[in-house]
Amino acid sequence: MPEFPPRRDDTPTFPLPHIEQTPPARISDHPEFHSLRRAQRRFGTRATVLSVGGFLLYVLLSSFVPAVMNQPLFGRLTIGLTLGLGQFVIMGVTAWCYVRHMRTRVDPLARGLRSRQHENDNRRARSAAAPPQGAGQPLQHGTRGFRTW
């Protein structure tokens, strides 16, 4: 494969456009981002305390009060077995509450924040790509955008 030597004066072969570099606005500096994080953290703390607390209670009762856990309820069904099966119920309720919380409180905030960030990025890109006075209108490619995953 042939190698092309660099130009002797080290200038680029085409003129570079003059674009003012503005620091990108960080999404983590936005106040709505902080409220989004607070909503996630608050629910996460409650869900963790409920799930881990229920399991810890079951383990402690099994370890320190086995006589209570072996008390029969109906036939061979004991309190310990019922509480053990209750762990599945607790996890299911926690997962259902998580999905409901995300759909009603967190996702709308995230969608609004994402759309505002997208608008700001588009505005910044349009202002950076603006032609000098009298250069004509730039070509408008698709303005619709694409959905993200």
In this structure, the number of other CB atoms found within 10 A of the CB of residue 96 comes to 10
pLDDT at 135: 52
User: pTM of the prediction?
Assistant: 0.59
The number of helix segments (H) and strand segments (E) in the chain equals 4, 2
> What are the domain boundaries of the chain?
30-122
The answer, yes or no, to whether residue 46 has pLDDT greater than 80, is yes
Q: What is the DSSP letter of 18?
A: -
| 68: CB partners within 8 A, 6+ apart | 61, 79
| 131: CB partners within 8 A, 6+ apart | 137, 138
pLDDT at 136: 52
